[in-house]
Structure 1
Amino acid sequence: MLLEICCDKFKNKAKKISFKQGLNVVLGENDASNSIGKSTFLMIIDFVFGGNDYVDKLKDVQRNVGLHTIYFAFEFDEERHFFGRSTERTNEVLVCSSSYKEIKSWSLERYYDFLKEKYQIDNAYISFREFINTFHRIYHRENLHEKMPLKMYDADSMENALNRIVKVYDSYGPISELQRCFKEKSDMYSALGKSIKMGFTPKINKLKYEKNLKEKERCDKEYQELTDELRKNLITLDSIEPETIVPLKRERSLQKIRLSNYRAKRAQYEDQLNSKVPSSILNEKFLSALKTYFPDCNERKIQEVDEFHKKINKILESEIRETIAYVDTLILQCEQEISSIDEHIESMAKERNVPTLVMERIGNIFSKKELVRKENESYERMASLNKEKKSLKDRLQGQQKEILENIANRINVYLSEKNSCLFNVDKNPPAIFFDSKGYVFSTFNDDGTGTQYKNLILFDLCILEQTKLPVLIHDSVLFKNIADEPLENLFKQYDVCKKQVFIAYDRLSTYSKEIQNLINEKMVLHLGPEQEALFGKIWSDKTT
């Protein structure tokens, strides 16, 4: 558990803040004073657990407090561990003595591994920060979406959110291999598609594929007829050396395909060169017309932009010409290789006294067969990958659906049970429902703001109880719209948590004596205006 936090920049009465197991309250004033440091202190707790938002998002704190180091201690199995984190070097954690003398430094990754091990999160599929990050709900962070409790940050995707909740519930193992295989097949399918698009792999449709099959049959038949003809003339194909001529013809066919692709590529680059946008459209007539419609236009800036575009065009033209020259080299190499193969075949025919026409027929047969083979192989490979990809996707979605349904059932049973503890009358409980595209989290017939935030708190308490989530942080902004009765009962739910929970709260006097006593008992830090603020001052007031 987190034992304490120290900083010499804190106000005099708060140089060292000690924590307890269970609920820990950062308490503000009854008038709900702003900018006294409640949310900031929760950010510091997140900083202690390896987050960076304290430095990255609270720029006013860094500007007014200056560089400082947060020191802190954990206790695991009756053994204490002392650390520090500087706002200047956020990528490292200082390992300290019990008096907070710096001994050495760890990388953040090593520190995360340490916390993951000590909190006994034996889950290989999720990092420590990924596990806890969503459930540190503090003002300025991007996870205060009351209807989207799995959203870690604004740009977080549904796919990531669904994968993460499966990992949090330690149920990711059965689908991890399926996801790996699906990604592998998808990448192979995409790579082959790009190869076809670039012209390096033949592209055919089903109709062409079927025509190729018939063409192969025709080639086989022609080959058999040629064999019969040669036998009649006492010349066998064995004497014509299939072992020698076939590889030559196969290589010739490959070179022909490459040559065709290179010529197509060269034509594309020529088209780009010929259709290039004119390097400049500026002239006196153009500028005069422009000023007619835009008399305040900055002619110098327009000319600067035009000069920039001229330079870009020259660079592009130069690159295209260099590419064409390179492709020309490849074309020449292919032509020379084809010519060399032809000469070789012709010399073989002369040496063995085989008619040149026969040699040509043999070569044409094998060239054609090689072409249709490559085309059909490409088609079959694409079809096979697509089929495998679809099969894996169906299996993955089926497995994920089953796991998410089980998780939803566990969560919804908890939400129904705990929701009934918050009211004196029966109220519809919140529920979460998953599908392959995402999830819905709501209460039937109740879309009120207070209800939604109450639901979010119950959801987090559920995750805290049902998983290995080690700690929960809730800022006061979550409580603002919740009615008194459910909020007082939520505090009681916090109080029975066995793991550490950190909340910020104010307006204590508006609640029952029972709740006031509870909050005061669990209070670890009391903040107020001016000197009673976290850093002993408030910098939001306008100075003259």
Structure 2
Amino acid sequence: MLKQIICDKFVQKEIILDDGLNAVVGDDIASNSIGKSTLLMIIDFLFGGEDYIKKNHDAIDHLGHHEFKFLFEFADEKLYFIRTTNEYKFIAVCNDRYEIQKRIKVEEYTNLLQEKYKCRLEDLTFRNIVGRYFRIYGKENLNERKPIQYFEKEAAANSIIVLLKLFDKFKIIKEFEEQIEKLTDERAILIEAAKKDLIPRVTKTIFNKNEKRIVELNQQLEALKTEIISASADIEALISKEVLSLRKEKSTLITKVNVLKNRLIRTQTNLKNKNINIQPELKQLLNYFPSFNVEQVEKVDSFHESITKILKEELLWAEKEVKAEILEIEKQILILDDTINSKLTIQNAPKFAIDKIIELAAQINQLGDENGYFTKKENLDDSIKSATENLDILKEKVLDEMCSQINIKMHEINKQIYIDGRRAPTLNIHGNKYTFNTYGDTGTGTAFANLVTFDLALLDLTCLPAIAHDLPLLKNIENLALENIVDIYSKSRKQVFIAIDKLSSYSKDTAQLIESCKVLQLSKDKLLFTKNWKQDNQTNA
């Protein structure tokens, strides 16, 4: 925890802090602009924030750039640092004499604090944990109706996600979201491929038409089977794995020939000084066309890009090479045709019947493949819908559990604040919206007390290491309630930083308690800084 702050611009050069309550106390006439909120902002600065630079720039304007030396203590380990206003993106790591050993970026520093405070959480930075609950004048998190909002324009959905992460309940939701994202990406690939005519565009109507056609073709195939079997033909030999494998090999060779012929056309076009522009986008289709030779197509494109840069003699040589390769593959196709025909020497089977069976089998396979794409998309749609529904159910369950935890704890704290049995505030989250209030009580004092109650609940339930409550928040709470809140602050095992004044307004016991937890006393005669720029006649304190 933060134990020490030293600054040569302070009137009180050194400030010592402790666990539990740390109070910056103003005077009984509630003097303004004496440094109460500024010190809280400086504490936020030492916890890695930047609002002191952005919202308290008047201090830098009048004091010049300055530095803070500070000490964090964890168990038996003491860590010494320096942070300056002119190089606030870096933190100096020091020895116990505040001699600089090295400089690190603020992100590395806050990661270190997050580790030391044992609050490593899924996708949640240290500042996103602490900064929300340092409620200081000038920051945008003092809205008593929106306790989880970090800044004014933060969407409620984002605030809710951060709260889930703080309670370490986001992991399982994230897994569902990643699954949905993966399915959605896969579906988008199918749709995009269909738009580019790389796979068939199959609608429900075409799907049903294909299904009907498959039935018809199977009936024809069965009829041919009967005819050939009656002629003592072995129908299994016609569509055996071996024959189908040979036909598949032949199909692959035909594809290669077509690719090579395209290459030949390109080469001949380049020889005529014509340009061809292609944009191969086929790699992503490998999942759906395992046998599609993407690499070969890419080579075509690469060949085209390079061929335009070489000499015409090389183009002629390339043309000759391609023609030779085409001729060689066409020879292989002829050999395969002979092999297939030799496998189909079924006794007494008419030649037209053999060809017809192979044709029917190919048509059935093609229609089956086309409908496979449609079925794949339908299955993806169903999976996305089902996963989304399950995610909604899971989110509702997790959010209800978290809200229940918070509301139970707030109820316990509220009983300590209001001993007259007033209703406790409740947090209700539904989807991406939430409400926070006390049923039947819309008073300003109650609303700010509710905000304090919420922060105290989170301080107890989560790894949140510290909270800060500025005077504008506390002064709206009725005295008796605030006295009980101060008592709760003082009993916390974590650090609570507050700014408060007019101690004479509270009971003797409360005033004494605040005095015992006071880390700095400020007044119109004793300011935080050695220079007073709030008045026309600036004087040193």
Q: Is this a same-fold pair by TM over 0.5?
A: yes
CA distance in 1 between counterparts of 2:190 and 2:406 reads 43
In structure 1, the residue matched to 2:399 is 404
Task: Report the counterpart of residue 317 of structure 1 in structure 2.
Answer: none
2:441 to 422, 446, 449: 446
- Do structure 1's residue 428 and structure 2's residue 420 form an aligned pair? no
Q: Of the candidates 466, 485, 488, which is equivalent to residue 483 of structure 2?
A: 488
| Alpha-carbon distance change, 404 to 327 in structure 1, aligned in 2, over 3 angstroms | closer
Counting only pairs closer than 5 Å after superposition, residues 366-405 of structure 1 correspond to structure 2 as 368-369=363-364, 372-405=367-400
1:144 matched to 2:142:
yes
Q: Contact conserved, 2:253 with 2:333, CA < 8 A, in 1?
A: no
Instruction: Determine the structure 2 residue equivalent to 1:106.
Output: 104
Residues 344-389 of structure 1, C-alpha deviation per residue, up to 9 Å, x if partnerless? Answer: 8996798689899999978975775565344323322222223223
> Residues of 2 paired with 1:198 and 1:453: CA distance?
59
1-structure distance, mates of 2:37, 2:351: 90
Aligned-pair distance for 1:182?
A: 3.4
Structure 1 contact 137–474 (Cα < 8 Å) conserved: yes
Residues 253 and 447 (structure 1 numbering): CA distance in 2 closer, same or farther, change over 3 Å? farther
Paired amino acid for 1:78: D
SS in 1 for 2:48: coil
Q: Which residue of 1 aligns with 2:527?
A: 533
Q: Is the 8 A contact 2:250 2:336 kept in 1?
A: no
Quote the offset at 1:462 in angstroms: 0.8
Alpha carbons of 1:387 and 1:358: their partners in 2 closer, same or farther (altered >3 Å)? Answer: same
Q: Distance in 2 between matches of 1:206 and 1:454?
A: 60
> How far, CA to CA, are the matches of 1:353 and 1:114 in structure 2?
71
Equivalent residue for 2:128, pick from 130, 138, 161: 130
Mapped partners of 2:257, 2:469: distance in 1 = 68
| Separation in 2, partners of 1:380, 1:219 | 20
Structure 2 Cα separation of the partners of residues 430 and 99 of structure 1: 48
Find the counterpart in structure 2 of residue 6 from structure 1: 6
Task: Give the distance between the partners of 2:80 and 2:280, measured in 1 at CA.
Answer: 67
- Work out whether residues 143 and 149 of structure 1, in 8 Å CA contact, stay in contact via their aligned partners in 2: yes
Distance 1:435 1:394 in 2: 15
Are the structure 2 counterparts of residues 182 and 519 from structure 1 closer, same or farther at C-alpha, using a change threshold of 3 Å? same
What amino acid maps onto 2:527 in structure 1? A
Contact 2:257 / 2:330 at 8 angstroms: preserved in 1? no
Contact 1:36 1:533 in 2 (8 A): yes
Secondary structure at 1:414 match in 2: helix
Change in CA separation of 1:200 and 1:438 when aligned onto 2, cut-off 3 Å:
farther
Does 1:326 find its partner at 2:278? yes
How big is the shift at 1:19?
0.4
Range with greater deviation from structure 2 (429-438 or 187-196): 187-196
Distance 1:494 1:398 in 2: 37
| Equivalent residue in structure 1 for 2:69, among 68, 71, 87 | 71
Q: Give CA-to-partner distance per residue, 1:464-514, whole Å, 9 cap, x none.
A: 122222111112221232222322222222122221100122343433333
SS in 2 for 1:421: helix
In the alignment, the residues of structure 1 paired with residue 202 and residue 12 of structure 2 have an alpha-carbon distance, to the nearest angstrom, of 74
Contact 2:239 2:358 in 1 (8 A): no
Q: Which residue of 2 aligns with 1:285?
A: none
SS in 2 for 1:14: coil
Shift of 1:515: 2.9
Identity %: 31
Q: Assess if the C-alpha contact under 8 Å between 2:23 and 2:518 holds in 1.
A: yes
Q: 2: CA distance between counterparts of 1:428 and 1:160?
A: 28
Mark the CA change 1:474 to 1:247 in structure 2 (over 3 Å): closer, same or farther.
Answer: farther
Structure (1 or 2) with the larger CA radius of gyration: 2
Q: More displaced, 139-148 or 114-123? A: 114-123
Displacement, 1:247? 4.8
- 2:187 alignment counterpart: 189
> Is the 1:252–1:367 Cα contact (8 Å) retained in structure 2?
no
CA distance in 1, matches of 2:7, 2:91: 15
Paired letter, 1:215: R
TM-superposition CA deviations, 1:161-208 (whole Å, max 9, x none): 333323323344544433433333344334444444555444433333
Q: 1:255 to 1:169 in 2, by over 3 A?
A: farther
TM-score (norm 1): 0.73
Residue 243 in 1 paired to residue 238 in 2?
Answer: no
Matches within 5 A, 1:33-432: 33-121=31-119, 123=121, 126-197=124-195, 200-221=198-219, 237=238, 242-249=244-251, 325-326=277-278, 368-369=363-364, 372-423=367-418, 425-432=420-427
TM-score (norm 2): 0.74
Q: How far apart are the structure 1 equivalents of 2:148 and 2:413?
A: 20
Q: RMSD of aligned C-alpha atoms?
A: 4.4
Letter in 2 for 1:451: T
Contact 1:428 1:444 (C-alpha < 8 Å) held by counterparts: yes
Compute the displacement of 1:326 (Å): 3.5
Q: How far apart in 2 are the matches of 1:408 and 1:461?
A: 15
Change (3 A) 1:120 1:502: same
Q: Distance in 2 between matches of 1:208 and 1:76?
A: 69
CA distance in 1, matches of 2:331, 2:247: 9
- Give the C-alpha shift of residue 123 in structure 1: 4.4
Equivalents in 2 of 1:348, 1:234: separation in Å? Answer: 24
Paired position in structure 1 for 2:313? none
**Partner SS, residue 215 of structure 1:** helix
Q: Supply the AA of the counterpart residue of 1:5.
A: I
Deviation at 1:458, TM superposition (A): 0.3
Taking the aligned partners of 1:57 and 1:203, their CA distance within structure 2 comes to 58
Kept in 2, the 8 Å contact 1:25–1:523? The answer is yes
Q: State the alpha-carbon separation in 2 of the partners of residues 77 and 343 from structure 1.
A: 80
Which secondary structure does the structure 1 equivalent of 2:278 belong to? helix
* Contact preservation (8 Å) 1:250, 1:367: no
* Per-residue deviation, 1:106: 3.0
- Per-residue deviation at 1:82? 0.6
Q: 1:21 aligns with which of 15, 19, 22?
A: 19
CA offset at residue 45 of structure 1?
Answer: 1.1
Counterparts of 2:249 and 2:434 in 1: how far apart (Å)?
A: 58
Change (3 A) 1:92 1:368: farther
How big is the shift at 1:433? 1.9
Superposition deviation, residue 536 in structure 1: 2.5
Contact 1:250 1:366 in 2 (8 A): no
Local SS of the residue matching 2:65:
coil
Any gaps of 5 or more consecutive residues in structure 1? 257-322
Q: Distance in 2 between matches of 1:536 and 1:477?
A: 24
Work out whether residues 202 and 374 of structure 1, in 8 Å CA contact, stay in contact via their aligned partners in 2. no
> Equivalent residue for 1:474?
469
Letter in 1 for 2:476: N
Does the CA contact (< 8 Å) of 1:250 and 1:370 recur in 2?
Answer: no
Q: Does 2:509 align with 1:514?
A: yes
Between 136-145 and 173-182, report the one with greater CA deviation.
Answer: 173-182
